[in-house]
């Protein structure tokens, strides 16, 4: 089983699976293999519905979150499909398996005022221009952390105001950038001597491409500097970008394109968030509402 898991993970690399997804699949399958090995279930024939259920029951006993369990199931299901397509198993065990429904979690986002305050955070003087550019670009364009990390200087079109982004599944898309974000990027690049178009857009303190962890630390420190009490992540800025666009009249299809979502259903989660705004407008405007005017 170990060899086939290795083959499966290698096939994902060939398909240009995102690093984040690849890490998750690797972690999940290593955990499953550890369970199977401890129970002397190391052959492909042991990868059956009974043993899979035993493994998932053991995982569930640790009281992990439902969506984490669903991710583990997804990893195992993909591995089973890999084995089936190569004729290594006769029956895909997941054809007999009903997975629980995914827990619908509303994305956490900043208010427009909080986002504005975050953009004005006072970063350390040494990296002030870089950190300002990172914050502005994340909020300006709704990029994923990995997408931001992988940007090169040549991916930014300063004249037309957009970035060329390589998203999930190596799918390329064009995203607009605000003038403020463009100015911040130019101010940062002006601090870098002899820069080449093919160089990374953002560098670490070691003059190497900045890491996703580096981005996370910048966001955390900026939140502290602005006395933002709740926890935020780089993805919080992506959620804020999407929510604020919808609140200000952006249509769902355009937002889908900017976010790089494969399906519209992934974007529709933000309509639930925007319902809060609709309710406030309704309560204020409808003559029969509790807070509305009188006829």
Query: Mind telling me the catalytic residues?
Result: 144, 168, 235, 238, 261, 270
Asked if 176 contacts 157 with a C-beta cutoff of 8 angstroms, the reply is no
Closest CA to 218 of 191, 237, 245, 239: 237
Q: What distance in Å separates the CA atoms of residue 4 and residue 167, rounded to the nearest whole number? A: 28
Concatenated DSSP letters for 72-138? Answer: HHHHHHHHHHHHHHTTS-SS-GGGG--PPPPP--PPP---HHHHHHHHT----GGGHHHHHHHHHHH
Concatenated DSSP letters for 209-277? Answer: BPPHHHHHHHHHHHHHHTT--S---HHHHHHHHHHHHHHTT--HHHHHHHHT-SSHHHHTHHHHHHHHH
Q: What sign for the dihedral angle of Cα 118, 120, 123, 126?
A: positive
């Amino acid at each position: 089983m170990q060899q086939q898991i290795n083959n499966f993970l290698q096939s994902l690399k060939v398909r240009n699976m995102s690093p984040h997804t690849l890490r998750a699949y690797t972690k999940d399958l290593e955990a499953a293999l550890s369970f199977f090995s401890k129970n002397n279930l190391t052959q492909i024939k042991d990868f059956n519905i009974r043993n899979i259920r035993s493994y998932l029951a053991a995982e569930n006993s640790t009281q992990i979150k439902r969506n984490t369990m669903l991710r583990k199931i997804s990893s195992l299901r993909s591995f089973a499909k890999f084995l089936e397509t190569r004729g290594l198993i006769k029956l895909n065990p997941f054809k007999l398996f009903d997975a629980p429904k995914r827990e619908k979690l509303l994305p956490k986002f900043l208010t427009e005022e909080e986002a504005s305050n975050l953009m004005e955070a006072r970063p350390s003087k040494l990296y002030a221009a870089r950190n300002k550019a990172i914050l502005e670009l994340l909020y300006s364009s709704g990029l994923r952390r990995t997408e931001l990390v992988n940007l090169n200087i040549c991916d930014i079109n300063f004249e037309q105001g957009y970035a060329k982004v390589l998203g999930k599944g190596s799918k390329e898309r064009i995203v607009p950038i605000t003038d403020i974000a463009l100015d911040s990027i130019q101010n940062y690049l002006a601090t870098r001597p002899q820069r080449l178009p093919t160089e990374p857009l953002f560098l670490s303190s070691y003059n190497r491409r900045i890491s996703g962890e580096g981005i996370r630390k910048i966001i955390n420190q900026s939140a502290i500097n602005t006395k933002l009490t709740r926890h935020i992540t780089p993805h919080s800025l992506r959620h804020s970008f999407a929510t604020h666009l919808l609140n200000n009249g952006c249509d769902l299809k355009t937002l889908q394109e900017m976010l790089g979502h494969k399906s519209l259903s992934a974007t529709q989660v933000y309509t639930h968030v925007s319902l809060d705004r609709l309710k406030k407008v309704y309560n204020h405007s409808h003559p029969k509402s509790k807070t509305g005017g009188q006829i």
